[in-house]
Amino acid sequence: MLKYLPLLLICVSYACSGTTNDDGDKRIVRVETVYGNMDIMLFNETPLHRDNFIKLIEDGFYEDLLFHRVIDNFMIQGGDPVSRNATGDTQPGSGGPGYTIPAEIHDHLYHRKGALAAARLGDNVNPDRESSGSQFYIVHGSLFTDQQLDEMEQRIQAMEEHEFTSRNFRRLEKEYLDRDEVPDYAAIASRIEELGNEYYSSGNHFKFSDEMRESYTTVGGAPHLDGSYTVFGQVIEGFEVIDKIASVETNSAARPREDIKMNIRVIR
């Protein structure tokens, strides 16, 4: 609970000030760089990420931070406070505001070009896929064929099943341990199979929608990240800026050889 306390205070603050977006009006922020500006619409379906991002922006948290990790045809990443004073021989990427944000992953919010998403630690140390409190990435991506999307869909479904099994195994095993009983692993396996049949027979398997396929085959993106990271915004103006930043020269750790500073402000 304590690690979420700063986030809870942010949400309470915004609720008290009336900034709830109940009218459906989406907030827009502007990321300013030497390569131009990117205007980003924030999604109301991800209120924890939206309100946290706005609060950090208004506090000046992102002023002069770097895009510290840039991979052409994939994404541009920033938001680490360590990057503000990082020397050329260091690699930012582990810093943040001291808290994480619960995942807000929705199938219809996906990694098309220009998607704004939250960076996070890997599943091996972060099984709940909680987001970094400040680090984000903007998708550059590439184009995909329908055949490639079919193959990727199968891989995502396999990962989804593995995560479902692992999560329920931990939960069911803990129930035994909480009762000071030796876990009955045969019974646990049987129960997981039952839960899986119920869950996936209801159509819960990941699938690329027609809209997603249209985007990935015409605009491009990073579909292999879908279902695993919280997408909480979308670039609506300044796509050429993504292209420019993504194409800069980087070192072996994907840090641009020339610093690319950002400033972010709320414009609506």
Looking at residue 59, which CATH number applies to its domain?
A: 2.40.100.10
Q: Give the integer Cα–Cα distance in Å for 126 and 131.
A: 9
In a domain, 174, yes or no: yes
- State whether 139 and 157 are in the same domain: no
In a domain, 18, yes or no: no
- State whether 37 and 166 are in the same domain: no
State residue 29's pLDDT score: 99
Domain limit, last residue, from 156, 181, 201: 201
State residue 253's pLDDT score: 95
- State whether 169 and 256 are in the same domain: no
- Contacting residues for 33 by C-beta, under 8 A, at least 6 apart: 67, 241, 245, 260, 261, 262
- State whether 137 and 150 are in the same domain: no
- State whether 154 and 193 are in the same domain: yes
- State whether 236 and 137 are in the same domain: yes
In a domain, 58, yes or no: yes
In a domain, 212, yes or no: no
- State whether 43 and 100 are in the same domain: yes
Whether the CA torsion 222, 223, 225, 226 is positive or negative: it is positive
Q: What pLDDT, in 10s, does the model give residues 255-268?
A: 999 999 999 999 99
Specify the length of the chain in residues. Answer: 268
State residue 15's pLDDT score: 42
Low-confidence ranges of the chain (pLDDT < 50): 1-2, 4-5, 9-23
Longest dimension (CA), the chain: 61
* Residue that the structure tokens 């760089």 belong to: 33
- State whether 112 and 244 are in the same domain: yes
State the residue range of the domain holding 37.
2-13+27-143+229-266
State residue 205's pLDDT score: 82
- State whether 178 and 251 are in the same domain: no
SS3 content of the chain, % helix, strand, coil (to 5): 40, 20, 40
Q: Give the integer Cα–Cα distance in Å for 133 and 119.
A: 9
In a domain, 90, yes or no: yes
Residues 15, 17, 18, 24, Cα dihedral to 10°: -80
- β partners of residue 29: 40, 266
State residue 14's pLDDT score: 41
Q: Give the integer Cα–Cα distance in Å for 23 and 25.
A: 6
State residue 88's pLDDT score: 84
- State whether 97 and 65 are in the same domain: yes
State residue 188's pLDDT score: 97
- State whether 175 and 118 are in the same domain: no
Token digits of residue 266: 């709320």
In a domain, 224, yes or no: no
DSSP 3-state of 196: helix
Question: In total, how many domains does the chain have?
Answer: 2
Whether the CA torsion 187, 189, 194, 198 is positive or negative: it is positive
State residue 19's pLDDT score: 40
DSSP 3-state of 123: coil
- State whether 152 and 132 are in the same domain: no
State residue 6's pLDDT score: 53
In a domain, 219, yes or no: no
